[in-house]
Structure 1
Amino acid sequence: MWSTLQVLHSESSDRDSFSIPDAFSWKTCMRTVLVSDSRIHLQPEELPGNWEIKSGYEAYRLLLEIISGLRSKLFGETEVLSQFRQRFQELPDMAFGEYLARLRDNLIEDCRELRSGYLQNLGEQSYGGLAEKYLSNAAVSPEEVALFGTGQLAEKLLPWLSRSGRKTKIIGRNLHRLEFLSSVSGASSHLMEDWSPKGEACVIAAPIDFSSWMDKLSPGSLVLDFREEPLEESWPSDIIYISFAEMLSSLKETEERTKKVREELKSVLDELLEERELEAHQNVFGWDDLPCPTF
């Protein structure tokens, strides 16, 4: 069934400069995925070097690895699956939408099998869990947290930040998203240009330049930075700054377990794909084709 599937994927910072007309796009703060079908979408003649393209069941495998958290910096992370579910509820009309719905359902089914059988007990598996770990283990656990960002990552972090009775402030530029996140979480919201630090812990979940606020932070303030590429050259020595890379390195106690799981999953994924291909051959009289365009 997925022999004509095409998937393009990039985690580059300039990935938004490339697109395919009419392909289905899925964007997160970490990556962009374009899903198409070779029967109705032309493969691009030139592909930027920071993109990868997969076809057929290898494309299906790539999507499965992404939504299962196998392609994430935090191995096995759970947020990406909920982001996938949310995006794939909004499908185009007509046959391509039906095709994507079937793809979504197959991927979720296989992802559940991988998660239940192999992606348990691996330590922290969510960015929210990582944030909670550092906030709770701080020498002085902060009573207030300022969350910078209004995107999907910020939305997933919110429930964790308000644990233990902490007050959370959402700081951002998108007024509509600020109002929405505030309404669903009970957190207060502030436009970025109106905010000034008042001793809160800061959680950075958006690609912003924090330089203008660094010198205004109180000594001993905790800053958790979920950006993969920080924009500041250095941080004041009296600030407790923890980068995303540092957070990931703190998980080394599960590294050996993770390494074994990665090796196991190679053969497990091979078997899943073989089953999907066999299923397609056995279902030759089922719905499998998109209508061909007429010219």
Structure 2
Amino acid sequence: MWGNLIVLHDDAEERETREFDGFVSWHTCMRSVYIADDRLVNKADVPEDISYYSGFKAYQLILEIVTGVHSRLFGESEILSQFRDRFRKENLADSPFSKNLHKLRDQILEQTKIVRSRFLTGQGRQTYGSIADSFLKSGEPISLFGSGKLAEAILPYLIQKHRSVTVVARNPSRLSELKNRFSIDTCLWEDYTDQSESLVIASSFFPETFTINSKSKRLIIDFRAEAELKEIPANSRYVPFKEILANITKTENHLTKLRPEILTFIEELTLEREEEQIHLLHGWEDLACLEK
């Protein structure tokens, strides 16, 4: 089924959020992935500055990404939720090969579950939300800056243990959506005022004026891998992303040792999938009647 699968992969730090004709895109904080059938796109239009995978190598790459093998926090599970959400049926309605993308999603999720249950069960904290929870006290007020996928993944962990959480963001419709789903307060960036609460930064955009003049004793947890606060208030405990990763070094080291074994197992699963589909000579099924 996946002999005609194409995947473009861009994980450059300064990458642009681009779109390509005929490709279904999936953007996360770390990477952009574009998926297509090679008979429905003009491969000459693919830029040279982006990694290109085809066939079952493309399938294997998606499986590696969704299992968390290529994440900064090795083995983290938020990427699995992001993949599932992006490839929900309603999000693929306009795709010319949506039926096959549903099958791709289901097969990737099926094999991701196999990989995670075999190698990653009970391996310690593997979500950014659970790490944030480990730093925070029960019952304390928190302001979460950001409303994207990372912020959404962290939220369930923040609101537990009787914590009061305010989400601060620039998009009012996104704030409304989160407020309908979670027991939180919301605030637009321009309306934010310092309440001496703990801060969790889950947005690449963060005005340092929010903290630079603060005299409050507070905890600031910063999930930005690409930036850190330049000036830290004297009374604040600042936890940059590199310290977050350092706090899980022991688990990370153990998982890193597992990495070659996991990659080998994923390759075996991919080969099994390829053997299952070897009788489908024309690649993606159900595409024969489609035209560009």
User: What percentage of aligned pairs have identical amino acids?
Assistant: 37
| Count of aligned pairs between the two proteins | 290
Instruction: Map 1:145-224; keep pairs closer than 5 Å.
Output: 145-224=142-221
Q: In structure 1, how many angstroms separate the alpha carbons of the residues matched to 2:291 and 2:51? A: 31
Alpha-carbon contact 1:20-1:44 (below 8 Å) kept: no
What's 2:122 paired with? Answer: 121
Q: Structure 2 regions of 5+ residues with no counterpart?
A: none
Deviations 1:135-194 (A, max 9, x none): 14xxxx661000001111111111111121110001011001111111211211111011
Q: In structure 2, how many angstroms separate the alpha carbons of the residues matched to 1:117 and 1:210? A: 43
Shift of 1:294: 5.1
What's 2:247 paired with? Answer: 250
Alpha-carbon contact 2:214-2:233 (below 8 Å) kept: no
Alpha-carbon contact 1:209-1:232 (below 8 Å) kept: no
Q: Structure 1 regions of 5+ residues with no counterpart?
A: none
Judging changes above 3 Å, is the alpha-carbon distance between structure 1 residues 163 and 278 closer, same or farther for their aligned structure 2 residues?
same
Matched, 1:62 2:61: yes
Deviates more, 1:190-199 or 1:250-259: 250-259
Matched, 1:97 2:98: yes
Instruction: Map 1:250-289; keep pairs closer than 5 Å.
Output: 250-283=247-280, 288-289=285-286
Q: In structure 1, how many angstroms separate the alpha carbons of the residues matched to 2:71 and 2:186? A: 29
Alpha-carbon contact 1:210-1:232 (below 8 Å) kept: no
Deviations 1:192-245 (A, max 9, x none): 011011110000111113311122333431111111111643323432111111
Structure 1 stretches of 4+ moved >4 Å: 283-287, 292-295
Deviates more, 1:115-124 or 1:213-222: 213-222
Alpha-carbon contact 1:146-1:170 (below 8 Å) kept: yes
User: Normalising to structure 1: TM-score of the pair?
Assistant: 0.91
Q: In structure 2, how many angstroms separate the alpha carbons of the residues matched to 1:35 and 1:285? A: 18
Shift of 1:2: 1.0
Secondary structure at the counterpart of residue 209 of structure 1: coil
User: Normalising to structure 2: TM-score of the pair?
Assistant: 0.91
Q: In structure 1, how many angstroms separate the alpha carbons of the residues matched to 2:248 and 2:291? A: 55
For residue 110 of structure 2, what is the amino acid of its counterpart?
E
Instruction: Give the CA RMSD over aligned residues.
Output: 2.2
What's 1:28 paired with? Answer: 28
